[in-house]
Structure 1
Amino acid sequence: MSPINLAIVGVGKIVRDQHLPSIAKNANFKLVATASRHGTVEGVNSYTTIEAMLDAEPSIDAVSLCMPPQYRYEAAYKALVAGKHVFLEKPPGATLSEVADLEALANKQGASLFASWHSRYAPAVEAAKAFLASTTIKSVHVIWKEDVRHWHPNQDWIWQAGGLGVFDPGINALSIVTHILPRPVFITGAVLEFPENRDAPIAADIHFRDADGLPVHAEFDWRQTGKQSWDIVAETAAGQMVLSEGGAKLSIDGRLTFAEPEQEYPSLYRRFAEIIKAGKSDVDVAPLRHVADAFMLGKRKFVEAFHD
């Protein structure tokens, strides 16, 4: 089967760090074009808008959209109308309504739409899911704390309305939690901390439960310096489970049971090729729905201004 001719829209840090190396190693794809206001990829035709790219490159089969979520819907709509398969970086959109409309359009066009959640493909996530399915869960504690100055320096879009703020990393934790827990959970309360000069939160404290009352507590914070924390801790009848380092390692009662090298984005592109070949979409909005619920139910607490 011929490679899928792929284009990227939005050539930034995540594209250079993750997308380009993953595409280069996947024989299912051939990168043929990019569209970005500033970024280019050497040896690949470059355009400044998706419209110009789609007009000039009719051979494009699929498009990966890697711009900020506030601008993703319009680009995805144009790609789907043109009959292209679409890969959505996380989060899949700025609102749930946008994503629902894109999914309906993809179905109408016979195109594949992929709402990607890279943290679900962290190496120990499936092992954690299997462990939790084998026992009784008593409680879950999510600690996702990192230094925004290190990971998102001078990225103003992330602090604007729709940029998600601390939920940009926090949604990674939610994508894992919604995948590994055997039953859906629902937000019962939240406190969101907003810097007085920003439109998106810098921290969030959220409580969930499932239909049986299982307590789940999540702490997200962008002010952590030093060692970063990306951990999910579950107290269970079979001992304490710790899924650490963003899903890279799994420990049970202090004993490391699973650890493999990170392969998140290569796994995403394998999945994208799979759904294109199968003629279907993969659009799970559960993590984004939890973020929307947090904004609906969360109490706002204003804290000191944040400056890069």
Structure 2
Amino acid sequence: MTAPIRIAVIGLGKIAHDQHLPAIARSHQFDLVATVDRAGVSEGPTPFFPSIEALIASGIAVDAVAICTPPQVRHDIAQTALEQGWHVLLEKPPGATIAEVVALREAAQERKVTLFTAWHSRFAPAVEAAGAWLKGREMTRAKITWREDVRIWHPGQDWIWAPGGFGVFDPGINGLSIATSILPSPMFVVSSQLSFPANLCAPIAAQVSCRDRSGAPIELDFDFLQEGPQHWDIEVETTSGTLVLSKGGAELSVSEGALGEHDTRGEDLVGEYPGLYRRFAALVRAGVSEVDVSPMRLVADAFLRARIVQVEEFHE
């Protein structure tokens, strides 16, 4: 395939409007041919449909879809797309459960189409350099801090508090997606404390203790009620220096000096989604999939090892 990939975006929430649609519009690799949302509205002259079934019935030629719905409904939509022979990009987290994502991976393999679990934070400007610096080094300690204000970043998104919505792990999994791609060895959950508001079904804060294969401690500090400065930081101590990856992967420094400073993460998550779509195009053209559930496994293990604490009700 050398012509632009004809893509439809399914789910027109905040992340689709802020990131997916602009990234597709700027890419010469893709041609937006349709949008789909059960409650949304048309994006200009682009054909709009209320469901994937209506898109299929229209007969519009589609090569791929980017699914940006809440994770609770993503599996069935993705399965339908795969059955059409369409390549599929799954916004993070790629499903409500690991089993759903594994089943989709098997379906994509059977139909010989691409499935891409799109961990966008891995495409932040400084992540690749951080991984290169850490390669071959011995880690002694790490801390992942993901503290943000849910009222700013997820306004009106009730799905995030429902079962399968991940709560504070929806942003926290971004940090885990970076950590699982750059740390020298796998990490395992030892214990966790999850704080659930009395009126909700997902945690608003999480304190998780992990370790790597050699026993080096890794602490996770996730909070959805951060006021003032927001924190998306990973600090890794090694036997030969300390690395700090800050602003969601936009800035990197080590103990002997800065390796490079880039645009801050900001509201537009500078640079992540163009890189994400370059990767998706490369996978589609190569005819291969990239399905990684390691960040989801850590979230699931945090729930398995959790001490649940009930805290005061949360209301926007």
User: Would you say how many aligned residue pairs link Structure 1 and Structure 2?
Assistant: 308
Percent of counterpart pairs with the same letter? 50
Other structure's SS at 2:78 match: helix
Give TM-score, length-normalised by structure 1. 0.98
The match for 1:123 among 119, 125, 134 is 125
Q: Does 1:172 align with 2:180?
A: no
Q: Does 1:271 align with 2:279?
A: yes
Are the counterparts in 1 of residues 66 and 90 from structure 2 also a CA contact under 8 Å? yes
The match for 1:104 among 103, 106, 121 is 106
User: Which is worse superposed, 245-254 or 153-162?
Assistant: 245-254
Q: Where does residue 307 of structure 1 map in the other structure?
A: 315
Aligned equivalents of 2:136 and 2:71: distance in 1? Answer: 37
Q: Where does residue 48 of structure 2 map in the other structure?
A: 46
Are the counterparts in 1 of residues 136 and 184 from structure 2 also a CA contact under 8 Å? no
Alignment of 1:6-21 (within 5 A): 6-21=7-22
The CA RMSD over aligned residues, in Å, is 1.0
C-alpha distance after superposition, 1:103-157 (max 9, x if no partner)? 0000101110000000011111111111111432110011110000111112111
Alignment of 1:1-308 (within 5 A): 1-39=2-40, 40-253=42-255, 255-261=257-263, 262-308=270-316
Aligned-partner residue type, residue 201 of structure 2: D
Aligned equivalents of 1:103 and 1:240: distance in 2? Answer: 37
Aligned equivalents of 1:236 and 1:209: distance in 2? Answer: 14
Structure 2, unaligned runs of 5 or more: 264-269
Q: Where does residue 267 of structure 2 map in the other structure?
A: none
User: Which is worse superposed, 197-206 or 38-47?
Assistant: 38-47
Give TM-score, length-normalised by structure 2. 0.95
User: Which is worse superposed, 51-60 or 7-16?
Assistant: 51-60
Aligned equivalents of 1:24 and 1:252: distance in 2? Answer: 36
C-alpha distance after superposition, 1:187-243 (max 9, x if no partner)? 011000000000000000011112211110010000100100000011122222110
Other structure's SS at 1:288 match: helix
Structure 1, unaligned runs of 5 or more: none
C-alpha distance after superposition, 1:137-194 (max 9, x if no partner)? 1100111100001111121110000000000000000000000011111101100000
Aligned equivalents of 2:181 and 2:103: distance in 1? Answer: 23
User: Which is worse superposed, 190-199 or 19-28?
Assistant: 19-28
Aligned-partner residue type, residue 130 of structure 2: A
User: Which is worse superposed, 88-97 or 126-135?
Assistant: 126-135
Aligned equivalents of 2:125 and 2:70: distance in 1? Answer: 26
| C-alpha deviation, 1:4, in angstroms | 0.7
